[in-house]
Amino acid sequence: MEITGQNMIDRDTAVVAKKPLVLVNFKDYEVAVGMGAIDMLNMHEEVFSELSDLADIVVVVHPTDLRGVCKASEKVSVFSQSADYLTRGSDDLPKATQTGRLTPRILCAMGVKGALVNHAENPRTDEEIKMIVEDFKSYDPNFTLVVCAENVERALGILNVCKPDYIALEPPELIGGDVSVTTKVDVVKEAVEKVGATLLVGAGVKTGEDLKKALELGCAGVLLASGVVKPKDKTPKQALIDLIK
């Protein structure tokens, strides 16, 4: 599928990180929910205080922990792991009240700065993604939306219907594994060429070499989870430091 210039993210107006963007997804790992989410946030804040000139760090938090983590956060931006569009009535206008949904008003009121949408573990249709992006950007243009795509074709399909701030390329077969998406050089190069400078990559990302390779290929940063939250041979703090340094 070809994509025209007007369908691509506008590089002049999109939020593009000047420093590498590092999004750490807490998922629902036991060590990163409840009080564990606060502990994990505090660790990220310590690292950011030391290495803020090297990367912008964002924690992506389970919705049940958002209020507490946002309240505790002083330096690190907090994103939600999900977001919802507003349900509509028969007149196609948003209903006056919404039940059980992570709406723009609810997330912004807590201090959430952005959201991850369409992760492989929480998939959405292109139409749902479009509605989420439109509803959040209408409410707060500065709210950052990171939309995941499993391949370049899906990324282009999403960009044909809406303009999120970032597209995160995450091949599902690599998620949680030890093979980094950055080893798929041709795939990442094609994605950068067609999506542009607001591309993030994720899946299998764990090391500083993975981040360095992503940046060399033209990406804005990385999205990862277990590589920092549940590293195999080091503490989460050391894993985050090694990733960024």
Active-site residue list: 119, 170
Radius of gyration of the chain (CA): 17
Cβ atoms of 14 and 198 closer than 8 Å: yes
Tokens of 96: 């006056």
Nearest to 58 by CA among 122, 112, 138: 112
Closest to 183 (Cα-Cα) out of 155, 167, 203: 203
Backbone angles phi, psi at 52, to 5 degrees: -65, -20
CA dihedral (93, 96, 99, 101) positive or negative: positive
Tokens of 109: 């009121």
Taking each continuous run of H as one helix and of E as one strand, the counts in the chain are 9, 8
Q: How far apart are CA 191 and CA 146, in angstroms?
A: 15
**CA atoms of 92 and 78, how far apart (whole Å):** 31
Q: From CA 203, how far away is CA 222, in angstroms rounded?
A: 9
3-class SS of residue 19: coil
- The structure tokens 């007007």 sit at 6
Q: Within 13 A of 3's CA, how many CA atoms are on the CB side?
A: 24
